[in-house]
Chain A
Amino acid sequence: MGIKNYVHFEFSSLPENVSFARACVGAFASQLDYTLDDIEEIKLVVSEAVSNSIIHGYDNKTNQKIEITVTINEDRSLEIIIKDYGKGIENIEKAMEATYSSDPSRMGLGFTFMKSFTDEMDILSKPGEGTCVRLKRNFTNEQKEAFS
């Protein structure tokens, strides 16, 4: 399956860049027939993944690197890859539990949202090397409603 379009960018692990990252991905994704609802969901999942990289991957260190690649495939699906070079996740299954968070003041909802608003989610992580989250949306909300 060929790639129709892609964008790749990287930025410092600064909280200021979370809104930049989600706005960029949202703007790129708007090339597809997405409604505002779809775009908002895409912005949310990017926000969660990038926040995770900053808070958990880099322990809030601000001079580290986060990379994002967004691809629009020939079948009009959207793929978002968020990559950091932080400390990685020891136990991915545990991290994905709805109410688990390594920081008790947070709710551990990030992965729940990412799963809810995408059709596919894979996490590759190695302690000490980093984490790569791949999120894919195969359909728009409108298409899903039409199928159901």
Chain B
Amino acid sequence: MDIELKLIRNTLIIRLKGEFDMLKAEKIRRQIDERLQDDQVRNLVFNLEKVSFVDSSGLGVIIGRYKKVKEKDGNMYIVGAQPVVKKILVLSGINKLVPLFKNEQEIMKV
């Protein structure tokens, strides 16, 4: 799984690609947490457009980062979840905490 991190002002955009399971979860968690130590990073955007699979290990990373962002009084968003991934997000209830958007441009409008 590929990960691309991009900082725009105080928002870290995390673009993931591939299957987000236990094999990838730990590595991705570490990379994001490293960036979250930077005071400048307050908001997170998970771009899941190119994620074809997610299970509870992947979801655990997303939920865990939500808690960290809230500690920093920041916001978190999820964009581009494909139907198969969106179904899992909804079943987990994460969508009640983290707003889901179609793409990164939609968030910029908010």
User: A interface vs B, CB < 8 Å?
Assistant: 15-16, 18-19, 36-37, 40, 43-44, 47-48, 51, 54-55, 105-110, 112-113, 116
Contact = CB atoms under 8 A, between A and B. Distances in A.
B60 interface: yes
Interface stretch (B16-24, B40-48, B71-79, B101-109): B16-24
Contacts of B92: 107, 109, 112
Interface in B47-66: 53, 55-57, 59-60, 63-64
B7 interface: no
B76 to A, nearest CB: 16
B84 interface: yes
Interface centre among A37, A55, A105, A109 (most CB of B within 10 A): A109
Chain B: interface size category: 10 to 19
Nearest to A50: B22
For chain A, what secondary structure do more than half of its interface residues adopt (helix, strand, loop), or is it mixed? helix
Contacts, number: 54
B91 interface: yes
A109 B22 contact: no
B84 A19 contact: no
Given A18-B23, A55-B22, A112-B91, A107 B60 contact: yes
B88 interface: yes
B23 A40 contact: no
A106 B23 contact: no
A109 B21 CA distance: 13
Contact of A43 (B23, B53, B57): B53
